[in-house]
Amino acid sequence: MKVIVIKCGGSILNSLSEDFYISIQSLKESGFYPVFVHGGGPDINETLDLYNIEPEFKDGLRKTTHEVMHIVELVLSGKTNRTFVNLLETRGLKALGLNGSDCSILQADFVDRESLGQVGKVISVNKNLLESVLEIGCTPVITPIASGPDGQKLNVNADMAAGAVANALNAEMCVFITDVDGVLKDGKLLKELTVQEALKLIEEGTVYGGMKPKVETALTVLSQGANRVMIASGKNKFYEQDSFIGTAFTEQEIYMKGAAK
């Protein structure tokens, strides 16, 4: 089973183009099984504002009190997930919305309970359930909410959740959908980078601004066991004619083995 895990951030969900959905159909026609993990930051912040709660972040992670966790789950599972599933369904893609905590799809432990509250790091994934969903022809659409200790629910960074799912399912690739085609150098898209090459581009300043954290996240997910990671655009086709369009990141040794074939 050739699985592709696709992470869509909350900021891009409402901007996904028809070309994006055409790419998903093309993936399925090519024998791939897509699995989605999505965020919902803008929707969460909007709802927190209604409750006069100021968002707090530490090292890129949302500080999640019990009250904030309630809102995070309400928004992600009750609004964002429903909206995304509907967008997929209206384009002929059979999608099944899943809260990450259902049946312990995502099992997590606290990152730092004292300073971050109910923020988790995935420690296991219920791969059997996800594979069963794929086998009946449905596409899982997962919220980054995990089962934690003592029945608590934990808020997981969506990028890291996607990486954990990709690792557990031995996915061909974990694709991060953004508003850019990938890493550019002198105006040209770089189709593939090793870890070492990516770090060099950051060091020399070619990768900077908003692209820098995207690349750093991709490298982190790669280091945690994903086979390949890609940054691609949700505003254009990212898969066409049996090839991916974006910037793929690979470990040096994997890249060299592939080049030798």
Rounded to the nearest 10 degrees, what angle do helices 66-75 and 41-50 cross at?
Answer: 120
What confidence score (pLDDT) does residue 209 get? 86
Check if CATH label 3.40.1160.10 holds for domain 2-260.
yes
**Other CB atoms within 10 A of residue 91 CB:** 14
52 in a labelled binding site: no
pLDDT digits (tens, 9 = 90+) for 116-138: 999 999 999 999 999 999 999 99
Q: In the structure, what pLDDT confidence band is assigned to residue 167 with cuts at 50, 70 and 90?
A: very high
155 in a labelled binding site: yes
**pLDDT for residue 159 is more than 50:** yes
In this structure, which amino acid lies at residue 114?
E
126 in a labelled binding site: no
Cβ partners under 8 Å of residue 17, min gap 6? 234, 235, 236
62 in a labelled binding site: yes
- Which phi and psi (to 5°) does residue 252 adopt? -55, -50
Whether the full predicted model's pTM is greater than 0.75, yes or no, is yes
pLDDT digits (tens, 9 = 90+) for 84-121: 999 999 999 999 999 999 999 999 999 999 999 999 99
- Residue ranges of the domains in the chain? 2-260
Q: In the structure, what pLDDT confidence band is assigned to residue 252 with cuts at 50, 70 and 90?
A: low
